[in-house]
Amino acid sequence: MRPIKIAYIGGGSKLWARSFMQDLALDPDLSGEVALYDIDVPAAERNREIGTRIHRKPEARSEFVYTVAGTLAEALTGADYVLISILPGTFREMRSDVHAPEAYGVYQSVGDTAGPGGVLRAMRTNPIYEGFAAAIREHCPEAWVLNLTNPMSACVKTLYRVFPEIKAFGCCHEVFHTQELLCCVLREATGVEAGRRDIWTDVSGVNHFTWITGARYRDVDLMALLPEFVERHFQEGFNEAGPVDDYLTNTFAYANRVKMDLWRRYGALGAAGDRHLVEFVNNAWYLRDPETVRKWKFALTTVDWREENQARQIADSVAMAQGRKDIPLRPSGEELVRILRGLVGLETVVTNVNFPNRGQMPGIPLGSIVETNCVFTHGAVSPVTAPPLPLGALALVRRASDNIDLTCEGTAERDMDKLFAAFLNQPLCSTLTMEDARALFTQMCRDTWEYLEPYYPKL
């Protein structure tokens, strides 16, 4: 294998970067350079140290050199692969995204994809991605671009709008957890132990609002096992990753009650964390108030928590970078390195990613960003045609997709009316009067104006 150059943009303090470096180190076939670029230079430097230390470990099987690039151009030049994982704005902006709507009775469990927070975050992120697209066109037009940033669909759509020939897609691990849940369904019904890569799922939808319409392990139809499983577990909930009440202490945990509820009503299985799914439907359903959230057994992730958590992670990173803390070397379960292996031609990988609709998702406009299975191999990404979604679920996805497209049109045209229309049409804004919606939108723009001002007309 020819050595490869990977440009890693952002990712300063996030787990994504570390799990990627670990998987990369464990791969026996790849080698080359990872060029780190982050506007937070110390974060990039920490990652360089961590990466370097990881590769020094005796279990490391591949050779990669980690460098810090002084400029975006430097990182991109010569890159074969570009990973982008940035935070658009700071926690200050995120605090407004997530919590400002609460004053209007709008609760968000994540607030980074759909809902009022998703719109504002897209408004901040899309202009930055315009810059990425232009830089990639200039410095490495042939590179494959793997986006990890949210709002996923908006980021990928912006890349393709600015540079239509770009080779980009977006990776997200939410579906994987639902696949693990299906493995539990299989085990309960048949006793068979299978991992998520041992089953097949038909996946379609938009990022964080994906659905599984078919699932099979060998000749076992997993969908046919769902009625009994849901009957047994709906009331109490079920957590494929731990105790069912994890959600009480782990902000990312949930008991899959939302997912099972959607399945009962739509005949397709919502395939993202419950925390994400709820943000794509009327807020009166699952996010009405903290009590409703508790009843459905998931949690609202606060920005306070995120800030504290990040401080812990940075401390960890510093300790690792300085060699004061060991960096365990084990597979992360993520697909990034497997996808790379596919792209360089070491194997044929089929997994779900976000990609412009070329026909792979019936019922959604061509060009909208959809999440379905794709085949990755030898430098080709080929979308796999998904079976049609049941109309009830498709209607919800179409609404989500229209909202993303309208948000992107609004950011592309710097048109605040379109952006407000997209804001207003968020299912999480269903209970807002127009006056309240307007007031909230204006306030959220003001709260985050520092990052919007360079691009948008005065409010």
Q: Which residues contact 453 (CB under 8 A, 6 or more apart)?
A: none
**Is 431 among the residues that bind a copy of itself (CB under 8 A)?**
yes
Is residue 7 involved in binding a copy of itself (CB under 8 A)? no
All residues at 6 or more sequence positions from 3 whose CB lies less than 8 Å from its CB, including other chains: 31, 32, 33
Quick check: 412 binds a copy of itself (CB under 8 A)? no
Stretch that binds a copy of itself, among 84-92, 305-313, 316-324, 375-383 (CB under 8 A): 375-383
- State yes or no: residue 33 binds a copy of itself (CB under 8 A): no
For 438, half-sphere exposure in the C-beta direction (CA atoms, 13 angstrom radius) is 5
Applying the rule CB under 8 A, the residues between 169 and 208 that interact with a copy of itself are 199-200, 202
* Residue 335 beta carbon to a copy of itself: minimum distance, rounded to whole angstroms: 14
Q: How many CB atoms are located within 10 Å of the residue 5 CB?
A: 20
Cβ 350 to a copy of itself shortest distance, Å: 6
| The one among 285, 307, 310, 439 contacting a copy of itself by CB under 8 A | 285
Tokens of 211: 């659905």
Is 383 a residue that touches a copy of itself (CB under 8 A)? yes
In the complex, the smallest distance separating the C-beta of residue 1 from a copy of itself, rounded to whole angstroms, is 7
CB atoms within 10 A of CB 39: 12
Closest CA relative to residue 147, chosen from 159, 165, 163: 159
Residue number with CB closer to a copy of itself (125 or 351)? 351
- Asked if 284 is part of the footprint of a copy of itself (rule: CB under 8 A), the reply reads yes
H or E element: which one contains 372?
strand 369-377
Binding-site member from 84, 406, 440, 452 for a copy of itself (CB under 8 A)? 406
Is 274 near a copy of itself (CB under 8 A)?
no
How many positions of this chain bind a copy of itself (CB under 8 A)?
69
Q: What is the DSSP letter of 78?
A: T
Is residue 173 annotated as part of the catalytic site, yes or no?
yes
Dihedral angle over CA of 79, 340, 68, 160, nearest 10: 60
The residue range among 70-78, 88-96, 147-155, 415-423 that interacts with a copy of itself, by the rule CB under 8 A, is 415-423
Residues forming a β-bridge with 66:
34
Q: Does 263 bind a copy of itself (CB under 8 A)?
A: no
Write out the two tokens for 321.
């970078």
Q: How far is the CB of 347 from a copy of itself (least distance, A)?
A: 10
- The answer to whether 403 contacts a copy of itself (rule: CB under 8 A) is yes
With CB under 8 A as the contact rule, the residue among 61, 137, 306, 398 that binds a copy of itself is 398
Q: For residue 216, state whether it binds a copy of itself (rule: CB under 8 A).
A: yes
Long-range contacts formed by 40-45: CB under 8 A, 24+ apart: 40/12, 40/13, 41/68, 43/11, 43/12, 43/13, 43/314, 43/317, 44/12, 44/68, 44/69, 45/321
What is the nearest approach in angstroms of a copy of itself to the Cβ of residue 195? 13
Catalytic residue among 99, 139, 173, 276: 173
**Token digits of residue 208:** 């964080």
CA distance 371 to 386: 10
SS3 256: coil
Specify the stretch interacting with a copy of itself by CB under 8 A; choose among 8-16, 238-246, 326-334, 344-352: 344-352
Nearer to a copy of itself, 148 or 340 (CB): 340
Closest to a copy of itself by CB, 384 vs 439, is 384
What is the Cα–Cα distance from 424 to 115, expressed in whole angstroms? 9
Sequence-distant (6+) residues with CB within 8 A of 381 are 144, 167, 169, 343, 353, 355, 374, 375
Residue 386 interacting with a copy of itself (CB under 8 A): yes
CB of 85 to a copy of itself, least distance (A): 24
Residues 6+ apart with CB under 8 A from 379: 144, 343, 344, 345
Q: How close are the terminal C-alpha atoms of the chain, in Å?
A: 54
What are the structure tokens assigned to 348, written together? 């044929």
- Residue nearer to a copy of itself on the CB measure, 21 or 394: 394
Cα–Cα distance measured from residue 53 to residue 22, given in angstroms and rounded to the nearest whole number: 10
Count the neighbouring beta carbons within 10 Å of the beta carbon of residue 71.
Answer: 11
Contact pick of 149, 178, 354, 373 for a copy of itself (by CB under 8 A):
373
When the beta carbons of 50 and 199 are compared against a copy of itself, the nearer one is 199
Output 17 or 404, the one with its CB closest to a copy of itself.
Answer: 404
Looking at beta carbons only, is 2 or 324 nearer to a copy of itself?
2
294 binds a copy of itself (CB under 8 A): no
Catalytic center residues? 173
Residues that bind a copy of itself (CB under 8 A): 1-2, 80, 199-200, 202, 214, 216-219, 221, 261, 264-267, 282, 284-285, 288, 292, 344-346, 348, 350, 358-360, 362-363, 365, 373, 375, 377-380, 382-386, 391-392, 394-396, 398-399, 402-403, 405-406, 409, 417-418, 420-422, 424-425, 429-434
